[in-house]
Structure 1
Amino acid sequence: MNEQRQYITHVNLSGYKSIQNLECDFEDGLNIIIGDNGSGKSNFFEFLHFCFTGEVNRLYNFSAGVELNGKPGLIEWNNTLKVFEEGHELYGLPYTDVPNFPLRYEFVQFNMPHELSVLADELVINFDLNKSKIASGAIKPIAPLFATHFVRIVNRILRNTRSITDDLLLEQLNTAFNIDYATFKESVGAYTPVEDIRISNALRISKVSSDVVEIRNLLFEYKINGSWFSWNGLSDGTKRMIYLIGVLCGYNSADQSIAPKVVFIEEPEIGIHPHQLHLILNFLRERSKNQQIFISTHSPQVLDILNADELNKIIIAEITAKDGTKFRHLSEAEMNKAQLYFKDEGLLSEYWRFSDLQRTEKI
């Protein structure tokens, strides 16, 4: 399967919560799934997440099929994962024997995880100078994935010297960060209120024993309106934006050199000021040039990210007592009406609010 460009073109799913029989086509780049609360948007993301991670113990009497890259190949689940390409079965194995799933993806839920992909908390590292390596079990707390690179940097720096000052280590860490995470820093500066990021000046090295040194206060600081703040000093909306940028840049993965090909994002508008939402949506649009991005939302404002010729990227989530969750694209007639309104008014969100496109049945 194409490793350079991976995206989901079709799914058929059944057997999870409100998803009884859902089938839908998707576009490369952006896909915006809009619907009322309770229409099944999160169920859709969770269903695919459980399939992709092999957590089928959460599912019962289910079936699922996912087509990648618009090819005849299909990935099917039903207690066994089967992968096809060009109509030929590559493998069909129980989940316990499944090789690495052939799609690099991320699922960003509306609530941020406990262990963030940013250095939100102080990272404490003990280094054994005699053995020239990080002391076993001496990273406190367990490093979030974003911090593993800094552990490697510390390891490299201290392996080359038995004597290093706080200022020299701080300088070398900031230099490495500015080089290795340039895309992350640039994106945060362009799409959030944060003007700059640095390693805290509070970083300190102290001797634990003749052979072991301890590095404390390894964490980020964020510059806003000329002042530096810790993670806890940021607003919830700004934290969420920084986390989202980190995930899309690939820093929530063990292999931080490769960004995810497909990203599912739940309700990016939660906790974010409308102006900041506009910025983060612009970031998502830019990233969608190289990644497939699914956004679930109940906010019509999110639709304003689209141009008049991109209405095919809207998927309406609806639910009925009889059929459960269904996804549908706009009909040709609905697209024509929306384009006329778009031409006159310029805001798709306003058209959505006053249209009859949403037909969710209250159940």
Structure 2
Amino acid sequence: MQLRNYRSIAACDVRLGPLTFLVGPNGSGKSNFLDALRLVSDALRTSLDHALRDRGGVQEVLQRSSGHPKNFAIRLDFQLPDGAIGHFSFEVGARPHGDYSVLREECVVGEAKYLVQEGTVAIKPVPVSPPGSADRLYLVNAAGLPEFRPVFDVLSKMGFYNLNPDKIRSLQPPDKGELLARDGLNLSSVLERLEKVDEGDTKRRIEEYLSRIVPGLEGVDHKRVGHLETLEFRQHVEGSKDPWRFPAINMSDGTLRALGILVALLQARAEDDVRVVGIEEPEVALHPAAAGIVRDALRDGSRHAQVIVTSHSPELLDAPEVSAQEIVSVVAEQGRTFIARLDEATRDTLRDRLYTAGELLKTNQLTPDREDVPASKQLQLFALEAQ
């Protein structure tokens, strides 16, 4: 993933593995990195205009610096489930009065490709191609073509989570449950779907992890309440032969967040289209002793989807199996974010298992390799030339 002039990030070029920990202090820019990926997904699922307005407009997305940049750009290089390799990149420019324009967009997957410049299709994906528009991403139109549909499906169904226990606790309107909502508002519907799609195996796996985090908890089910639905927890109570049932409103923030994290991570076991999952600070509201269980769930989820986690928790990283290749360091200086792999000395320390990543984090030793932080002009965001 490459970014230019996105929020606090002037430039970055980061390779993401099956499991990636974005590690850094509060306010360093970890969430901005995830938000750039989420912008792509939001713009494809709804529209670019909606995605930008949801963030306060294009001016709020542009990096704030002395140079006053007027454009931001994103590039994603990918390998699809069928093995096809490609990239998707676009650049958005600010215009007066809060307007914007997609200055350039290109997508290459295998032999198929297109290039759109300010709404004009300069390289057509097929001889008779859908028209372009300067205020929306062309990939939405190109998704009607079989070559580009897999790209659209993967990028539009990425899931990014900042779970809200109050939303999970409240009565929820039912939906298809195909993808967990960012705040967990449709958690009951997703859990109901997971109970059906693979004979309940994923749901049982979620309950196993949850019972390790919350002692005595035996399971959780969706429950209809009129035209709405909620969650009902089954928990063992001393002296009782059968588990008691508790509605979500009676459960703690930690329990609800833990359930939301587990569903977010493991939904990809049953949903083939969910290929990327990002979670902000999964350790929040959980007891430090649960960090190892959450780490196990992260690894479990990364077998089915690419998992990206923001964290500043030493407990979550305090294990020998957390390798230097899985950590991306994020720091901020004078409002600018630097994102890169760990410096060479730190990588050697973790490789030789002299310390764990959690121990190094406690002493503020997880620092980025500044040589891996590119200048904006070094980024190779686009590859196609107009014909």
Local SS of the residue matching 1:195: strand
- Measure, in 2, the Cα distance between the counterparts of 1:336 and 1:283: 27
Distance 1:149 1:271, change over 3 A: closer
- Measure, in 2, the Cα distance between the counterparts of 1:282 and 1:185: 16
Return the match for 1:229 from 239, 246, 252. 246
Is 1:274 aligned to 2:298, yes or no? no
**1:249–1:259 Cα contact (<8 Å) kept:** no
**1:156 equivalent in structure 2:** none
- Measure, in 2, the Cα distance between the counterparts of 1:334 and 1:82: 37
| Identity %, equivalent residues | 20
**1:281–1:305 Cα contact (<8 Å) kept:** no
Aligned positions of 1:290-329 closer than 5 A? 290-304=304-318, 307=321, 310-321=323-334, 324-329=336-341
- Measure, in 1, the Cα distance between the counterparts of 2:363 and 2:2: 31
Distance 1:311 1:121, change over 3 A: same
Is 1:112 aligned to 2:164, yes or no? yes
- Measure, in 1, the Cα distance between the counterparts of 2:254 and 2:6: 31
- Measure, in 2, the Cα distance between the counterparts of 1:234 and 1:124: 21
Unmatched tracts of structure 2, length 5 or more: 63-70, 92-101, 117-131, 144-151, 176-184, 238-243, 370-387
- Measure, in 1, the Cα distance between the counterparts of 2:261 and 2:23: 19
Q: CA deviation at 1:72?
A: 5.7
Local SS of the residue matching 2:291: helix
**2:77 equivalent in structure 1:** 67
Unmatched tracts of structure 1, length 5 or more: 1-10, 126-142, 153-175, 205-214
Q: CA deviation at 1:52?
A: 2.5
**1:187 equivalent in structure 2:** 206
**2:23–2:330 Cα contact (<8 Å) kept:** yes
**1:30 equivalent in structure 2:** 19
Q: CA deviation at 1:230?
A: 0.9
Return the match for 1:98 from 139, 157, 167. 139
**RMSD over aligned Cα atoms:** 3.5
Q: Deviations over 1:251-276 (max 9, x none)?
A: 9xxxx743611111101111111122
Distance 1:121 1:106, change over 3 A: same
Mean CA deviation greater in 347-356 or 40-49: 347-356
- Measure, in 2, the Cα distance between the counterparts of 1:73 and 1:225: 51
- Measure, in 2, the Cα distance between the counterparts of 1:76 and 1:124: 35
- Measure, in 1, the Cα distance between the counterparts of 2:278 and 2:267: 13
Structure with the greater alpha carbon radius of gyration: 1
Normalised by the size of structure 2, how large is the TM-score?
0.63
Q: CA deviation at 1:88?
A: 5.1
Is 1:18 aligned to 2:11, yes or no? no
Distance 1:359 1:223, change over 3 A: same
Distance 1:120 1:337, change over 3 A: same
Counterpart code for 2:324: L
Q: CA deviation at 1:304?
A: 2.6
Distance 1:96 1:26, change over 3 A: closer
Is 1:264 aligned to 2:254, yes or no? no
Distance 1:112 1:306, change over 3 A: farther
**2:42 equivalent in structure 1:** 53
Q: CA deviation at 1:199?
A: 5.2
Distance 1:122 1:39, change over 3 A: closer
Q: Deviations over 1:67-113 (max 9, x none)?
A: 0129762111112542112475246454265325242310012x428
Q: Deviations over 1:107-140 (max 9, x none)?
A: 012x428754xx8527799xxxxxxxxxxxxxxx
**2:343–2:368 Cα contact (<8 Å) kept:** no
Which fold has the larger relative contact order, with Cα–Cα distance below 8 Å and residues 6 or more apart in sequence? 1
**2:165–2:257 Cα contact (<8 Å) kept:** no
Local SS of the residue matching 1:357: coil
**2:382 equivalent in structure 1:** none
- Measure, in 2, the Cα distance between the counterparts of 1:356 and 1:148: 40
**2:276–2:307 Cα contact (<8 Å) kept:** yes
Counterpart code for 1:223: R
Return the match for 2:300 from 286, 307, 314. 286
- Measure, in 2, the Cα distance between the counterparts of 1:355 and 1:149: 39
Local SS of the residue matching 2:318: helix
Q: CA deviation at 1:37?
A: 0.9
